[in-house]
Structure 1
Amino acid sequence: MDVFDLLSDAKAHARVDHHDDDAAIMLMLSAAAADVAAAAEYDLPEDADDLPADLRFAIIDQLALLFDARGGDTNRPVGLSLAASRIVARYRGVRMCPVNP
């Protein structure tokens, strides 16, 4: 998926200056999209316009979390933002695994 289509909305949500260098933001946005897609067990579409609105928001909110934590302790994993974790939970659903006797 081309995450560049999410850049403007993501920068507005994270309150990032629109004149800043976009290279670091694009890396964080790609990481956020990968985090959300993996947690939701969802294959990202080629076009960002085909992405469901709730997953789009989850990616954007995850970017804001990554952006806020960019100068923090690198030994602590960030995990998903609260909004993203609630959204991806709807996509995972419930699984039944057989128990070996």
Structure 2
Amino acid sequence: MSEDAGFVRGLDNKGYSVDGKSVYMAGAGGAGASIAVSLLDAGVNKIAIYDPKHDASTNLINILGEHYPGRVVEGPHPVAEYDLIVNATSLGPRPGDPILLICLT
């Protein structure tokens, strides 16, 4: 199972459907790209993507925008506007990493 299919399946297994939802995703690397495609294929209405490496987020947004017109926008936005927040960055798994939402605000 790929990382992206596993991500959506994990949400489904917990009873959370992404269909029609809006998603804020931090991280536009390989994991973020595959998770974004999986979310969009699963019916997410809108996904905002933010990465501190602006070129990475711009590139991913442009690519996804070709395949999912009108459903992919650039972050950051106030995260309270979104139904789901996804951390697709490398922040968080190590002790001492900053809390992601504090970094985005």
The normalised TM-score by structure 1 is: 0.23
Decide which structure has greater strand share.
Answer: 2
Decide which structure has greater helix share.
Answer: 1
Q: Give the structure, 1 or 2, with the largest relative contact order (CA under 8 Å, sep 6 or more).
A: 1
The normalised TM-score by structure 2 is: 0.22
Larger Rg: 1
